[in-house]
Structure 1
Amino acid sequence: MSLPSDTITPQLSQAVLAAMNAATEAEVMPRWRALEDHEIRTKSSEWDLVTDADEAAERLITAALRDLVDVPVVGEEATAKDATLLELVDGAGAVWVVDPVDGTRNFVAGTEAFGCMVALIDDGRTVASWITYPAVGREAHAARGVGAFLDGERLTTPAPTDPASLRGAIASKFHPGDADELHAAAESLGPSKPIRFCAAWDYLDVVTGVTDYVAFTRTLPWDHAPGALICQEAGLTAARPDGSEYLPGGDVRAGILTAHPSVWERIAGVLPVR
């Protein structure tokens, strides 16, 4: 670990949340349900949206995080302009990872299912993470070895109440295999639905027991480093579908499966997401 052992403190956590809230209050919420057409653009595809809110909020959060812990910041929007930033996540040393508006399509559509996410990564592993839900005034955060907290209360996720009928959320858009096969496998475990296209909310669902598992087939670090650590610290298993450790700088096509450890292996053995 390259960061000093006393870096992650309650004071740091509150300061990060304050920075996220300040950015979303200034740049995101005033545009929610009030976006003009010229404030919405595409990046890699027509499906991949970015707005003025994403870019402006990321600039504010980036500056604030550098003031708190002066290490590089790998923001989703900055990386869209300079892909080499992604290499920092897998390298030695510490980096911040930022998704200023997770679920941009939902934000554009005017739904509540968007969030703001930050993670602190040190020598390739997530050591702390924060998620805010601006439209509903909630937050979750975690530190490795310390625990997970939701709205200020310690969070522990119990085992599924009905292991014989597991409720899942499945990401199939980037699945390299047969999507129909993936959905059929999920249905064999119990009722399933598509992900919300907002990892912040998908991880909130599984950590609070709304769903019993969530499976993703693409794992960009700003989408998954924050939520995976919160789930792990709440007692869930968040790992690659082959059982290997999830590292934010790893292969973004390797997938990630999150569930209670009592059912994780059974789900992993059924879903064709390797």
Structure 2
Amino acid sequence: MDRVAEILAEAAAEAVEPRFRALAAGEVMEKAPGEVVTVADREAELIIERRLRELLPVPVVGEEAVAADPALAQALHSEPAVWLVDPVDGTSNFIAGRPEYAVMASLVRSGQTVAAWIWQPATATCYTAELGAGAWRNGHRLTRTPLADEPAKWRGTVKSRFLDPVHRRLLETNTTAFGEITPGRHAAGVEYPDLTEGALDFILYWRTLPWDHAPGSLLVSEAGGVSARLDGSPYRPEAPGGEDGLLVAADPESWERIRGILLGC
């Protein structure tokens, strides 16, 4: 666990942090319509991939490698063990000079996330989780307090960018039952820790790319929260194009109540 945390911090120090608020012309590119990437993303992923393979020689499914060759993501279904890597989560924040970004990795065995790491360079904060062994921030055990108040006092984030118009209208109506709905921090590697530490009570995601959600989902669940599909099935990382919709909440009871309110059932 410690060595992977070191690898992420080292890659960030080598390839990411020197370019924070210092990206040169031509170092930001569009990899798909509406999706940007920087040289920091690509260089950090190469560093992390090489060093993770030295630690455990299994396939590495990185966000930027999959952008170039989508077939690589099928290793999540065909291989017994896979590394997942997001070299700069929150790239739009990074480009804009905002500190809400993270470097993330997770280890998936037989389709289940068994270990996760989130490194936030701006604050030198490392979040880790291991299946059955808990969630941690810089070596301190994290436990999420269950929600006791009424929904009118709960604070959540609803990520609506990829929602279809019907679901968007439904949620716009039903989220009025909660105390506060925020647009999010544009980085799963910041939002999941926010929920784990009590700054948020729930998050609804629609698109669920595996490198974005495997680390945080394990962090939340190991702290006592819930990360599950809208039908109640536990989150498992899937190749892009898989199931949509993921609700993350502070505890099992509040997850059920929040789902009922959001979906109107």
Question: Within 5 Å, which residues of 2 pair with 1:1-274?
Answer: 13-45=1-33, 47-164=34-151, 165-176=153-164, 177-249=166-238, 252-259=242-249, 260-272=251-263
Worse overlay, 107-116 or 259-268: 259-268
Residues of 2 paired with 1:252 and 1:223: CA distance? Answer: 14
Gaps of 5+ in 2: none
* Cα drift, residue 161 of structure 1: 4.8
Query: Would you say the 8 A contact 2:58–2:81 is kept in 1?
Result: yes
Residues of 1 paired with 2:46 and 2:263: CA distance? Answer: 39
TM-score between both structures, scaled by the size of structure 2: 0.95
* Structure 2 counterpart of 1:254, one-letter code: D
Gaps of 5+ in 1: 1-12
Q: Residues 165-193 of structure 1, C-alpha deviation per residue, up to 9 Å, x if partnerless?
A: 21101100011234233133222122101
Seen in structure 2, the aligned counterparts of structure 1 residues 273 and 222 have a Cα distance that, compared at 3 Å, is: farther
Worse overlay, 57-66 or 250-259: 250-259
Seen in structure 2, the aligned counterparts of structure 1 residues 273 and 139 have a Cα distance that, compared at 3 Å, is: farther
Please identify runs of 4+ aligned residues in structure 1 that moved more than 6 A: none
* Structure 2 counterpart of 1:266, one-letter code: R
RMSD: 1.6
* Structure 2 counterpart of 1:19, one-letter code: I
Q: Among the aligned pairs, what percent are the same residue?
A: 41
Seen in structure 2, the aligned counterparts of structure 1 residues 30 and 21 have a Cα distance that, compared at 3 Å, is: same
Query: Would you say the 8 A contact 1:163–1:263 is kept in 2?
Result: no
Seen in structure 2, the aligned counterparts of structure 1 residues 258 and 249 have a Cα distance that, compared at 3 Å, is: same
TM-score between both structures, scaled by the size of structure 1: 0.91
| Residue aligned with 2:127, SS | strand
* Structure 2 counterpart of 1:225, one-letter code: A
